[in-house]
Amino acid sequence: MSDEAHIVKSYEEELQNLNDSLIKMGSLTESQLADSMEAIIKVDKESADKIIANDAKINELRAKIDNQIMTVLVKRAPMAIDLRITISTLKISHDLERIGDLAKSVAKKIKPLPHDLPKELIGSLRRLGDLVQKQLRNVLDAYLNKSKESAITIWKNDEQVDDLTNTAMNEVADFLGKSKKNLELATHLLFVTKNIERAGDHITNIAESLYYLIEGEYLEGARPKGKDIEKN
């Protein structure tokens, strides 16, 4: 990393604006994910509509970042740390957009839910949602502080996300096993659980991009995975 400023002030501003856009996008995505988790647990159909509508704001920011990056590439031909900032920001913004899409998908599953969630399914789902939200918050903080150590911790923590996903899915399967009437709710919840787990995967992608931004090298080795989770 460099603590010196560019000689050309407008270049400095362009990178600062890019950083600001990404932070704004991160904070919006964080709210959308939090709101979708709250709404699914409460089966809050009104909030679901808002979440679905709000996704457009994240997409707009991604388009704005794409444009800002194209401008930097064309005008500045960035090198070294600037090149890594530019490319990593592009990748991170696309992962944030996907997390936003997944939050929207969770919200979409709320409307057809036939009734409130049974108590026995709420615990694991909430724990999984809380963990993924914490991972997102931490990766955004790590981006702000350019913390390599946090990036590694977040990357490793995906194993816990996988384990909690596994537990939540097993509980839904048990619930389904109790009665055929549970089929509709269980199917929706399986999708929801999988979506949250995939949001976790995008967070680890962000941790990887952040590590590359800081170190100029890729995180070595395969990402740790929880037991019995089928990735797709």
> Is position 4 an interface residue for another protein (rule: CB under 8 A)?
yes
Cα 141 to chain centroid, rounded: 13
**3-state class percentages of the chain: helix first, strand second, coil last, to nearest 5:** 80, 0, 20
**CB of 192 closer than 8 Å to CB of 40:** yes
Residue 160 or residue 209: which is nearer to another protein going by CB? Answer: 209
Could you say whether residue 179 binds another protein (CB under 8 A)? no
d(CA 159, CA 156): 6
Q: Is 6 in the site for another protein (CB under 8 A)?
A: yes
- Is 126 a binding residue for another protein by CB under 8 A? The answer is no
For 81-102, give the DSSP string. HHHHHHHHHHHHHHHHHHHHHH
Size of the site for another protein (CB under 8 A): 19
């990178």: which residue's tokens? 15
The identity of residue 151, as a single letter, is A
Q: Taking the complex as a whole, how short is the minimal distance between the CB of residue 213 and another protein, in angstroms?
A: 11
State the nearest-atom distance from the C-beta of 155 to another protein, in Å: 19
Q: Is 100 in the site for another protein (CB under 8 A)?
A: no
112 touching another protein, by CB under 8 A: no
Minimum CB separation of residue 10 from another protein in Å reads 11
Our measurement of the distance from residue 221's CA atom to the centroid of its chain's CA atoms, rounded to an integer in Å, reads 22
Which one of the spans 19-27, 39-47, 65-73, 215-223 is the region binding another protein (CB under 8 A)? 215-223
Closest Cα to residue 191, out of 119, 120, 123, 111?
A: 111
Establish if 63 lies at the interface with another protein (CB under 8 A).
no
Answer for which of 74, 179, 217, 231 binds another protein (CB under 8 A) is 217
Please give the residue ranges that form the binding site for another protein (CB under 8 A): 2, 4-8, 11, 76-84, 215-217
